[in-house]
Structures are given as C-alpha cells and as structure tokens.
Amino acid sequence: MLQKPRGTRDFLPGEMGHRRAVERCMRETAEKWGYGEVCTPIFEEAELFTLRSGEGIIHEMYAFEDKGGRMLALRPEITASVLRMYVNEGRVLPKPVRWSYLADCFRYERPQKGRYRQFWQFGIELIGADTAAADAEVLLVGADVLAATGVTFDMHVGHLAPMKFLLSGLDPHVQRRMMAYLDKRDFDGLRAFSEETGTTDRYDALKALPECRTIEALHDLCGDLPELSRIEETIAILDSECLEYTLDFGIARGLDYYTGMVFEAFAENLGAENQILGGGAYRLAHLFGGDDVASCGFAIGFDRVLVSLGEIEGPRAPVAGVLYTPEARHGAFAVSRRFRREGVHVELNLIERAIGAQMKHAAKNADFAVLLGERECIAGTVTLKNLHSGEQRECGIEDAIAEVKAFGAC
C-alpha cells in the first residue's frame, strides 16, 4: 500500500474545517488593515532564494532541473516570491503596498512537532514606507492576526541597531557567531567564543543587551544611537495601542537581512520550538532588480498555530440527512435543493437501502433526518426528526427548513 511522502500530511474533513476557520480569521483580520491577498507560483527560479539566503539553502530546498535545463525550486518561504512579484508587477502601484498571503512551502528537513516538509505560512509585506509608524503597523497587524485565532502568545520586540553597534568592526563570521550565541541566550558559549577570538571587551555589553527593557537602559549601554529616536517612536505607538510585549534587543534575526526593527512571538504547547511568528524591517527588492525600497513584514507558522490551539472543534452548520422510499426519489432531490438554497447542509441518501438503514447512517453524520415517502410527496410535507432529542413531526418544507436553521443558530 502506497503511503504519503515523509513530512507531509492528509487532512480529513473535520480537520480541514478547523484549518479553513483559522484561515478565515487570519485573512479577515489582515483585510481590515488594508492588506490585499496575493498568490505566487509554487515553484520559482532557484536563484531567487539563493540570492537572499546563499547557496547553502539549496540543501534545504526541493530543487530540480526542469526539461528546459532551468534550475527551479519549490518555494521554501514566501517573502522572496512576494518581493520578486513586486519588482515584476508592483513598482508602479501607489506606496505603500500592502499585501498578505497564505500559502504552502516546502523544505527538506527533519520533520518534528509543528514542523513538516510541506508547511503553510501566513504573512504580510508592507512595501514602500520607511517610518516608525510603518514598523508599528506591521507589528500590530501580527498581534491582531494571532489574537484572532485564539492563540495565547508572548510578543518580543527589538531592533538590530544596538547589536550592530556592539558588533561593529568585527569580522562578519565573528559577528554571525556572536549573534547566534546571543540569540540563543548561550552566554557560556558567547564567553568562550569571545575568549577564543580576543573580543572579551564586547562580552559584558552584549550580555547586558537582552536585559535592556527601557530606552534609558539602551541609551546607557549604547550611547546616542542615530536609530534611538525611531525606536522610541515605535515603542510609543505600541504603548498607545496598549499592546502587551517585551522589549528584547537580543533578538538576532539576521544582520545581513533585517535592517531595523525585529520582532518574534512565542506560543504555548509547542515545546522548545515555540516561535510562532517572526518578522521585521528589511530591504530585498534591489536583489531582484528593483529599487532599494524599504519593506517590513512577518510570517506566521500556520501549522504551529494549529498545534498550539490543540484539538478544537469549531462551529459547524447543521446537517440534514434526506431519507426516502423508492417512490419519493425525485421529491427527495427537489426537497434537498430547497434546503441547500437556504444554506442548510444536506446529505442525500444515495444507496438503495431500507429507511431503517438510512436512519442508522444519518444518525452518525446528521443533526436532522428529513423523511419522504409517497404520502409526504402527495401532501407537500416532510417528516422531520431531531436526531439529538428524538422528537419527530410532520410539517411543511419551509417550517422544516426554519427549524433546522434555528438549531444552527443556537
């Protein structure tokens, strides 16, 4: 028996209903902020991703040569594709451009809880606004989207300017290593590496950086940074919006990629790998032939949202099972059509079996049984049975529809 590929999943109707409900929450929340949904190809030129992340990412991608000899890759993330689309299609649009997306991505890595080889991301990109207000808006959208799903999360907000200042003048390789230790809060590793590279004079300041919880503390550590006023303005907006967050200038999402504000959110029920959102300010469009435009965005691990939420059965519309005798077959199709026109979900019996067997099957899937025999067809009525309470009555079709819909509104 053939099995699904490792790192992929099948979704049955119940789980798909839950996924679609969470998707709707995310999309509708982003739309309220003015972000229109876009869609990019599942595969792109492999160079699109190596330009951003380096050749090493090839080993993490599903990359292949097509019949025309072109090196392509299934998208490992969406931001690069969206910025490529902006360069191709969006440069003439009024600024700022507000786009959102929800799409599946593919990475060749070891599957684990909340991480798969095929996974889904929700995100937004704000392109063409280089202000504290733009940074704050993207962060607030991220918090709104997560809150709309029902996830419990902690938001951490930082900025790369202080870290860049403390690491300035060092070899890029040394910067990246020290940044990684700082990001993981591995201070023992940071000290050992500082001693190894002769940079112990940076250690105390770097260790203190994640504990800077105020602008004043940041000023005391780093002096008059040019970016300090923008950081302060962004924080003032977040505070005015009553956002709960933690200032964390130890966030290191990539000095070669992000250019300013960075932020992350962490959720419950995810174990050690509990980051559910990541984002910040960046400049990418020039890599793909566009102008050097400021951008800011975030991506949410959609699968991690669902893991954090756990097994939640969302609301569903009531289901009516239409059962009938052979003489009432045509009438059953007509009654089903009338129910569907009123928004009621209908499962029509399709197998030749007795009413008793039909009723037994309906009890597994439906909330109501709508029975039709020759007598009901002649009278223009149905026999409606509530499969939860067992109550049964003969009534007109419109009355039956109204009762089923009222059940769904409870």
CATH architecture of 13-309: 2-Layer Sandwich (3.30)
Residue 198 zone, left/alpha/beta (φ > 0; ψ -120 to 50; rest):
left
From the list 140, 168, 175, 284, the residue with the least C-alpha distance to 226 is: 168
End-to-end CA distance of the chain: 44
Fold agreement between 13-309 and 319-409: no
Q: Under CATH, to which class is 319-409 assigned?
A: alpha beta
Tell me, what's the pLDDT at 52? 74
Q: How far apart are CA 370 and CA 392, in angstroms?
A: 10
From the list 82, 89, 242, 215, the residue with the least C-alpha distance to 158 is: 215
Q: Identify how many contiguous H helices and E strands the chain contains and give both numbers.
A: 15, 16
**3-class DSSP state for residue 248?**
coil
| Interior angle at CA 19, CA 13 and CA 21, nearest 5 | 105
Tell how strand 118-127 and strand 36-37 pair up. Answer: unpaired
Tell me, what's the pLDDT at 252? 84
Strand partners, 123: 101, 299
Strand partners, 384: 370, 393
Q: How far is CA 76 from CA 107, 191, 333, in A?
A: 5, 34, 47
Q: Which residue intervals of 223-262 are DSSP H helices?
A: 228-240
Tell me, what's the pLDDT at 101? 98
Radius of gyration of the chain (CA): 28
Residue for token digits 């003969």? 394
**Single-letter residue type at 111:** P
Strand partners, 44: 73
Tokens linked to 355: 């009413």
Residue 51, classified by CB atoms within 10 Å of its CB into exposed (0-12), middle (13-18) or buried (19+), is middle
Q: Where are the domains of the chain?
A: 13-309, 319-409
Tokens linked to 259: 């250019």
| DSSP-assigned states of every residue in 264-291 | EEEESS-TT--EEEEEEEE--GGGGTS-
Q: How far apart are CA 243 and CA 222, in angstroms?
A: 26
Residue 313 zone, left/alpha/beta (φ > 0; ψ -120 to 50; rest):
beta
From the list 123, 121, 138, the residue with the least C-alpha distance to 243 is: 138
In tens digits, the chain (410 residues) has pLDDT values of 999 999 999 999 889 989 999 999 999 999 999 999 999 999 999 999 988 777 778 888 999 999 999 999 999 999 999 999 999 999 999 999 999 999 999 999 877 765 789 999 999 999 999 999 999 999 999 999 999 999 999 999 999 999 999 999 999 889 989 988 988 889 999 999 999 999 999 999 999 998 899 889 999 999 889 999 999 999 999 999 999 999 999 998 765 678 999 999 999 777 777 899 999 999 988 888 888 999 999 999 999 999 899 866 555 678 899 999 999 999 999 999 999 999 999 999 999 999 999 999 999 989 999 999 999 999 999 999 999 999 999 999 999 999 999 987 65
Q: Largest Cα–Cα distance of the chain, in whole Å?
A: 95
Q: How far apart are CA 313 and CA 158, in angstroms?
A: 36
Q: How far apart are CA 81 and CA 87, in angstroms?
A: 10
ω into 96 cis (within 30 of 0): yes
Q: How far is CA 144 from CA 65, 199, 403, in A?
A: 41, 41, 36
Count other Cβ atoms within 10 Å, centred on residue 210: 21
From the list 290, 295, 347, 298, the residue with the least C-alpha distance to 324 is: 347
CB under 8 Å to 206, separation ≥6 — which residues?
Answer: 163, 166, 167, 178, 182, 190
